[in-house]
Structure 1
Amino acid sequence: MIISLLNNKGFTLVEMMFAIMISLLGIFALLQSMDVITQHNVKNQMRDEAVKIADVRLKSMREGPFVENIVYIPYSTVHNESGVRSYVVRKSMTALSVNSRELIVNVGWAYKNISSHHEVRTIKSR
């Protein structure tokens, strides 16, 4: 009787393997969710940087002189402060009337081969 009581203490090897497998599944699920969270944070940071770039460029266009003749405005590439990410900025202008112009700034970027863009518009009059 004493021998059977001593053998019932502790876990069997099968129980330990099963517990380790369940723990590993939980850890892998947690790591996967951390990767998804990181990707969403990077996308949001890139969008926020694009909004800032577009606002600055649109403000400089509004504060500049009124343009009589509509000319082609070449696009430019902007790098963020760390120089890691780049954004393509396209500025354009459309004549609405003799005294007003529509100013458009479109900022594009790519993350993990997915292209995105942010566009702002305003009207400038004499």
Structure 2
Amino acid sequence: MKWQTLRSNDSGFTLLEVLVAMVIMVVGLLGLLQAVNVSMEHNLRNMARDEASRIADERMNSLLARPFDKISSTYSPEFVPSRIRGVSKNYTVEKKSTEVGGSSLQLEVLVSWAYKGTTQQQELVSLKTR
């Protein structure tokens, strides 16, 4: 009995090769998706910090615009609502002034907000002289 070998001109991929290629692509895409999530989280955190810096800058400018004798040593906390990417975020602003050398005041503005269960803070300090 003679054995015949069949020659196949079918060029293509086997099912196993296709499955392996799909697994490799899925692993790569999952890694890419995780990178996108991390970058979005960092972007959101930076946007919240930028908003806190803007609020601190506004409050500091209002303190610096006041006459020297009209600046109080303590202020009650102020709550500032804001929206970042359509999400409400509340900031707490604390202001205080400390006399430095008799003719100068150290002005401090502390802005705090909650992010993922932790309190974040942004502080701005300036001096005002007579």
TM-score between the two structures when normalised by the length of structure 2: 0.83
Instruction: Answer with 79-88 or 111-120: which moved more.
Output: 79-88
- Indicate conservation of the 8 Å contact 1:109/1:116, yes or no: yes
Counterpart in the other structure of 2:117: 113
List gaps (5 residues or longer) in structure 1: none
Mapping for residues 21-100 of structure 1, pairs under 5 Å: 21-67=23-69, 70-81=72-83, 84-100=88-104
- Displacement of 1:91 after TM fit? 0.5
Counterpart in the other structure of 1:122: 126
Change (3 A) 1:35 1:85: same
Larger Rg: 2
- RMSD, matched Cα: 2.2
Change (3 A) 1:68 1:9: closer
Counterpart in the other structure of 1:9: 11
SS in 2 for 1:84: strand
- Indicate conservation of the 8 Å contact 2:79/2:90, yes or no: yes
CA–CA distance in 2 between the matches of 1:77 and 1:121? 19
Q: Kindly indicate whether residue 106 of structure 2 is the aligned counterpart of residue 102 of structure 1.
A: yes
List gaps (5 residues or longer) in structure 2: none
Kindly provide the CA deviation profile for residues 40-85 of structure 1, in whole angstroms up to 9, marking residues without a partner as x. 1111111111111111100101111324785431111112255612
